[in-house]
Amino acid sequence: MSSKESIVNFLKLCERVLHVSRKPGRSEFINVAKVTGIGIIIIGAVGFVVSIIAQLVGNG
């Protein structure tokens, strides 16, 4: 398969994805934003706890 054929195939796949995709509604967007925010807060809290534990173990 040549480089040109692979680029054409990739563009066809991109066109297909864009054709199938749709804009989310307001409620769906708000739900995704909430879940994402909660995930960021949880990951930050875990990182904070690990950082505190590492400082306590390092000084002890």
pLDDT digits (tens, 9 = 90+) for 1-60: 678 889 999 999 999 999 998 889 999 999 999 999 999 999 999 999 999 999 999 875
Q: How confident is the model at residue 13, as a pLDDT?
A: 93
Give the torsion sign (CA, 40, 42, 45, 47).
negative
Q: How confident is the model at residue 1, as a pLDDT?
A: 61
Q: How confident is the model at residue 60, as a pLDDT?
A: 57
pTM here is 0.62
Distance, CA of 5 to CA of 16 (rounded, Å) = 17
Give me the helices (H) in the chain, please.
3-20, 26-59
Q: How confident is the model at residue 2, as a pLDDT?
A: 77
